[in-house]
Amino acid sequence: MNKWFPNSWIPLYSMVTFTRIPYHEVIEKRAHQDKILNRIGMGIGIIGVIALAVCYKRHQETIHTVAESLSDKTLNLFK
């Protein structure tokens, strides 16, 4: 994130080691950054689940056909 937002997103190590930011501010900034990252992760996860649901709905019949074919082939291996 620091690569894209160098003025507003400072890694924890850099804040503690290379700046004069008071430690209590470092903790607050880190908590804020963690909150942002968690929300981004949740958003990506939700979008992923929605995308999978849409793909499943659009290709449901094909998925069932492939699944049946694979299960038949697997069962034939043990005959």
- For residue 37, what pLDDT is reported? 94
Residue 20: both structure tokens together: 């004069």
pLDDT in tens, 7-55: 778 888 888 988 899 999 999 999 999 999 999 999 999 999 999 999 9
Residue 62 half-sphere exposure, CB side, CA atoms within 13 Å? 5
| Statement: the pTM of the whole predicted model exceeds 0.75 | no
- For residue 1, what pLDDT is reported? 83
Burial class (CB in 10 A: 0-12, 13-18, 19+), 6: exposed
